[in-house]
Amino acid sequence: MIRRRFALSPALLMSLALAGLLIVVVLDLPPQPGLAGPVAQAMDQAGVGHPVTAVLLNFRGYDTFLELAVLMLAVLSIWSLGRRDPIPARPVQGPVMHGTLRHLIPVAVVTGGYLVWVGSSDSGGAFQGGAVLGAAGVMLMLSLPREMPMPPALLQRLGLSLGVFAFLAVGTAGLLAGHGFMGYPPAWAYHLILGIELAAAVSIALTLVLLFLGGRSRKVRHDR
């Protein structure tokens, strides 16, 4: 496509003007105390040691619950758009790929599990761990000589909704026990949060793999 360089189109002019305005606004932002103080004060009843995890799964648990619901909704909307196409090409199998896979997949599983577990005290959490596990799943899907047999549909759906339902169950139990919706008893908070994170990580990993595949599984299996 031939296009004139340095042509000052209206779109470019407006973008530059918007950039200038936004820069003026952003540089002029007044300093604010933010929410670091209130979060630090409430950390003793958060159950976890890392402030971001405390915000995600305790103080603003409702957001994270709906975020898991958004992930599930994305898979449902992709499934409603049709069946998936087969991956167009399969890689040539060889000793290098088998060896790499054999080493990388366990490392990815251990890394993902560690990231979920460490989220309570350091950087990490269900999303980071789930992303690593999901990446391992996508790598496995792409490198096998033929299409990987998927677990039965019921099991897929259970796995997809595991995170949402675990979160919802714990949140509702908190409501019934008098801690408010999505509230935890402080003494149990650590164990409940870790359990939710594990369930969420499994759901997120499965969601990412299914999002990558795109579409419902095909009815007719072509083995060749």
Partner 1 sequence: MTVDVISPQIYLLCGVLLFVLGLHALVVRRHLLLKILAVNIMGSGVFMLLLGVAARGEGGIDPVPHALVITGIVVAVSATAVALVLMLKVKAATGLARLPLSGPED
Among 29-37, 109-117, 146-154, 168-176, which window interacts with partner 1 (CB under 8 A)?
29-37
- 216 φ, ψ to 5°? -65, 160
Of the candidates 59, 64, 63, the residue with the CA atom closest to the CA atom of residue 48: 59
Of the candidates 106, 118, 195, 210, the residue with the CA atom closest to the CA atom of residue 157: 210
The contacts of residue 61 (CB under 8 Å, 6+ apart) are 167, 171, 182
**CB 58, min distance to partner 1, A:** 10
Among 54-62, 104-112, 167-175, 191-199, which window interacts with partner 1 (CB under 8 A)?
54-62
208 in Cβ contact with 131 (< 8 Å) = yes
Interaction with partner 1 in 195-224: which residues (CB under 8 A)? 204, 207-208, 211-212, 214-215
Contact status: 193 vs partner 1 (CB under 8 A) = no
**CB 104, min distance to partner 1, A:** 22
Q: How far apart are CA 214 and CA 88, in angstroms?
A: 13
**CB 40, min distance to partner 1, A:** 7
Contact status: 175 vs partner 1 (CB under 8 A) = no
Q: Where are the beta strands (DSSP E) in the chain?
A: none
Question: x/- contact string, 109-148, with partner 1 (CB under 8 A)?
Answer: ----------------x-x---------------------
Contact status: 94 vs partner 1 (CB under 8 A) = no
Q: Among residues 7 and 187, whose Cβ is nearest to partner 1?
A: 7
Angle at 102 between CA 148 and CA 134, to 5 degrees: 55
Contact status: 8 vs partner 1 (CB under 8 A) = no
Of the candidates 49, 55, 27, the residue with the CA atom closest to the CA atom of residue 117: 49
189 in Cβ contact with 53 (< 8 Å) = no
126 in Cβ contact with 201 (< 8 Å) = yes
Structure tokens at 173: 């139990």
**CB 174, min distance to partner 1, A:** 19
**CB 149, min distance to partner 1, A:** 22
Q: Which residues in this chain contact partner 1 in the complex, by CB under 8 A?
A: 9, 11-12, 15-16, 18-19, 22-23, 26-27, 29, 31-37, 39-40, 51-52, 54-56, 60, 63-64, 67, 70-71, 73-74, 77-78, 81-82, 125, 127, 204, 207-208, 211-212, 214-215
